[in-house]
Amino acid sequence: MSTDAYEARCQALLNACQDPVFILDNETIVAVSAAEQSWCQSEALVGRSLEELFAKDLLAHFRQVLKQLAEGEDVMELEYQLRPEHLPVLRELGLSEPCWYQSRWVMSEQGEVIWTARDMTAQKHLERKLSHQAQRDPLTGAYNRRTLIPVLEMATAQALRYDGATSILLIDVDDLSGINDRYGWDAGDQVLQQTVMVLHALKRTSDFLARYADDQLVFVLPETNHEQGLLAAERMRAAVENLELPYSTGNLRWTVSIGLASAINLEDDAAALMRRARENLLVAQQSGRNRVEGEAL
C-alpha cells in the first residue's frame, strides 16, 4: 500500500470513531478525529500543544501518563473532567458544559501517542442522580435512615475521640395520623415537607438532617453540647409552631415534640444516643407534646 493510501486509511479510521481521538507528537496534537463533540475541531486543534489547551492540573496528569508510556507502559487509562471555565481555548471552540472523559493512551512504535477519550458525562450525571436518590427520602429530600446511621456513628466517635460533644435531636411531628384523617394524606405530606424545609433553613453546614421514620426526623449536631443542643431544639420547635399551610377551612398548623441526647461519656455510642433521644421524646410527648425534652445532667 502506498503512503498516501495508508494515510487515507488512517484518516478514515479516525473519522469513523465516535469518541475523540488525538494523536500526539511530543505533546503537540498532529491529528484529531472528527468526533461528535463540538469542540473537537481538527483545524483548530492540530498544531496546538497540550500546554496551550489545558490547565496546569490537567496538564500535570497528562504528562504523568506520557511519562509512564515513555517508560514502557503499554496502555494507560485516565479519567478526567474538562471544565470550560478553566479552558479558554476549548470554551471558544464550543465546550460549554463540564464533561467527563474516560481516556486510554498508547504509544506507537514511532513514538507518537494515540489518546482516545470516551465521553462519560451522561453516565456521571445518572450515577450522581442514582446516588442522590439512594441517599434521600423521596418525599422530603432529607437524607434517609440508611444514610443516617454511619453519619451518626462517625459523629459520636469523633466527639469522644477529641473530647468534644455531639448532640442529636429526635423530632416527631405531633398527631400526623390525625392531620391525615382530618385534612387528607396530601396535607400530611405537605406538613412533612414544610417541616423539613424549615429545619433545613436552621441547619449549620456540619449538621445532618434525616427522615428516620414515618413522622420522625433526626438532626445530628456535631460539636454541640447539651445546653447548645437544647437551644437549637427550642429554636426548631418554635419555627415549626409558626408554620402554616393554607387550607379551605382555615390555615393548618402543627407542632413537633423533640427528644435531645448529647454524647457525654465514653459509653455513648450511636445506639445509646438514639435510645436516650427516644426516651426523652417519649417524656416530651407524655408531657403534652410541642415540647423539647433533654436529659437531666
> Under the rule (CB under 6 A), what is the footprint of ligand GTP?
139, 172-178, 180, 185, 188-189, 192, 214-215, 285
Residue 269 among the catalytic residues:
no
Measured from the CB of residue 94, what is the shortest distance to ligand GTP in angstroms?
45
Strand-pair partners of 210: 143, 218
Q: What whole-number distance in Å separates Cα of residue 24 and Cα of residue 91?
A: 21
CB of 119 or CB of 172, closer to ligand GTP: 172
Measured from the CB of residue 239, what is the shortest distance to ligand GTP in angstroms?
18
Backbone angles phi, psi at 54, to 5 degrees: -115, 150
Amino acid identity, position 66: L
Tell me which DSSP letter residue 82 carries: E
Q: How many CB atoms lie within 10 A of CB 230?
A: 19
- Which secondary-structure segment (H or E) carries 46? none
Select the residue whose beta carbon is closest to ligand GTP and give its number.
Answer: 188
Distance of CA 211 to the CA centre of its chain: 17
Measured from the CB of residue 176, what is the shortest distance to ligand GTP in angstroms?
4
Q: Which of 119, 172, 207, 215 is an active site residue? A: 215
Strand-pair partners of 219: 169, 209
Q: What whole-number distance in Å separates Cα of residue 104 and Cα of residue 58?
A: 15
CB of 173 or CB of 217, closer to ligand GTP: 173
CB of 90 or CB of 179, closer to ligand GTP: 179
Nearest residue to 83 via CA among 75, 95, 94: 95
Measured from the CB of residue 136, what is the shortest distance to ligand GTP in angstroms?
14
CB of 111 or CB of 178, closer to ligand GTP: 178
Q: What whole-number distance in Å separates Cα of residue 151 and Cα of residue 159?
A: 12
CB of 88 or CB of 178, closer to ligand GTP: 178
Measured from the CB of residue 186, what is the shortest distance to ligand GTP in angstroms?
7
Q: 30 burial class (0-12, 13-18, 19+ CB within 10 angstroms)?
A: middle
Look up cell 415534640; give the residue: 257
Residues with catalytic function: 215
